[in-house]
Amino acid sequence: MIFSSVCLAQNKLNEKGQPYGHWKFDKGTCGVSEEGDYKIVSLVQYDSAHFEQEEGSSVGHLDVKYKAGKAAIIAYNFNADSVSVNDGTWNDYDTATGKMLQSTVYFNGIVLGRKEYSLSGDLLKYSYTNYDADSAVYLTYLDNHVFKKECYPPHNGNNKVTQYYPNEPLHLYDAEPEFNINFLAKPYARNTIKIVADTDITITNIAMDSDMEMVNRKNQPVRFPLELSKGETYPITIKCTPKAATYSFYDTVTISTSGSRFKYKIICAEWCGHIDRNNVTVLQNFKLSKSRDRYLFIKGCGSVTNFTITDDDGKANNYSALGGRVTAVDLSEYAPGLYTVDVTMGDCEAEGNGINLRIVE
């Protein structure tokens, strides 16, 4: 009871309904508690200010000029001469474990930097803005190393520069390649990754999933140890041929180097389906095996993808998926026989009606 009284005393509002001082509260049903300070600031300090109110709320967005750049501030109970904003360090905690999930540093409502953590305490993301130079940096961490660095150069917020493993002896032009695969039309895809050596280094092994193959620039298998000289660029081509029965969206390629326990990782995203936007309007008949294929995969398109599987007796099962996700239908739930598949792919305005699917053992 004493603790509750302290919390209520901290969460204070002035006569205009603006929060100020130290606050601690739960974010509704998010399972997160938030703690930090509010500050009431005068609008005179800004060269210009544009405020947009959220409908039915006392919360809005204040767009201001700050140093050489601009900032978007979350504002509470805006009025003609002042506004309440976040200030100092705000921390978000997981209510079940008490572990910190996010820490954000504000200056008069302007976000200077933010860190995101896993429940195990590992740093996942760190972003910060240099308002003097009007530039922003976004760092993504993997295995406690900087995996990806995204920079927006000064006065050019639309020209993002991405680097992978910028602080390591090896740099990768792309460590998040995407493979678009149709199991029926083209059951494989290729992607070339360029490896750049920042110093003389030896690659001892590159390990990958059994559904992947790797060749060098001469279309030959890569042999190890692979010695790279400082400044050398070495391209490898990865061919991905997944199987429907064992398909998973992500596969990881791991690069090991001499004298280091740290391993570089290439995270491969595989967008696979039997039906997608490219064949949904032309596909008429196809066959899947319950034992060999195990699943029917449909790669969505647009805001929502809806599809129906109907048997000869007219019994229909309806499915839907948001966005461009890959949806799996377990064939073990269907008896062998002939079915009709009808697909509508949301904003893509692509429809496949009366596609004949034969399911066999």
188-216 core/surface letters (b: 16 or more CB in 10 A; e: else): ebebebebbbbeebebeebebeebbeebe
Closest CA to 226 of 205, 198, 195: 205
Lowest mean pLDDT among 18-32, 40-54, 56-70, 331-345: 40-54
Each residue of 263-293: pLDDT tens digit? 999 999 999 999 999 999 999 999 999 999 9
- State the CB neighbour count (10 A cutoff) for residue 346: 18
pLDDT on residue 48: 64
pLDDT (average), residues 169-173 = 95
Q: Kind of pairing, strands 100-107 and 82-94?
A: antiparallel
| 257: nearest Cα among 197, 204, 196, 206 | 204
User: Is the per-residue pLDDT at 343 higher than 50?
Assistant: yes
DSSP state, 258?
Answer: T
pLDDT tens string 18-52: 999 999 988 776 788 999 999 999 877 776 667 77
Q: What is the pLDDT of residues 112-127, one digit of tens each?
A: 999 999 999 999 999 9
Q: Which of 51-60, 181-190, 287-296 has the lowest mean pLDDT?
A: 51-60
User: What is the predicted pLDDT for the residue at 153?
Assistant: 80
Q: Is residue 56 over pLDDT 70?
A: no
> Mean pLDDT throughout 187-212?
96
**Top-confidence residue, 82 or 137:** 137
Q: What is the mean predicted confidence (pLDDT) over 227-231?
A: 97
pLDDT value at residue 72: 86
For residue 202, pLDDT over 50 is answered with yes
**Would the pLDDT of 2 be above 50?**
no
**Closest CA relative to residue 138, chosen from 119, 116, 121:** 116
What is the identity of the amino acid at 195? I
Q: Quick one: average pLDDT of 334-356? A: 91
For the stretch 95-104, pLDDT in tens is 999 999 999 9
Q: What is the pLDDT of residue 61?
A: 82
Asked if the model's pLDDT at residue 192 lies above 60, the reply is: yes
Average pLDDT, integer, range 241-254? 95
Q: Write down the pLDDT at residue 7.
A: 44
Taken in order of first residue, the domains within the chain and their CATH numbers are: 2-164 (no CATH), 171-271 (2.60.40.10), 274-360 (2.60.40)
Whether the per-residue pLDDT at 165 is higher than 90: the answer is yes
pLDDT at 67: 87
Only one residue has tokens 């792919």, namely 345
Specify the 3-state DSSP secondary structure of 79.
Answer: coil
The pLDDT, as a whole number, for residue 29 is 67
User: For residue 83, is pLDDT > 70?
Assistant: yes
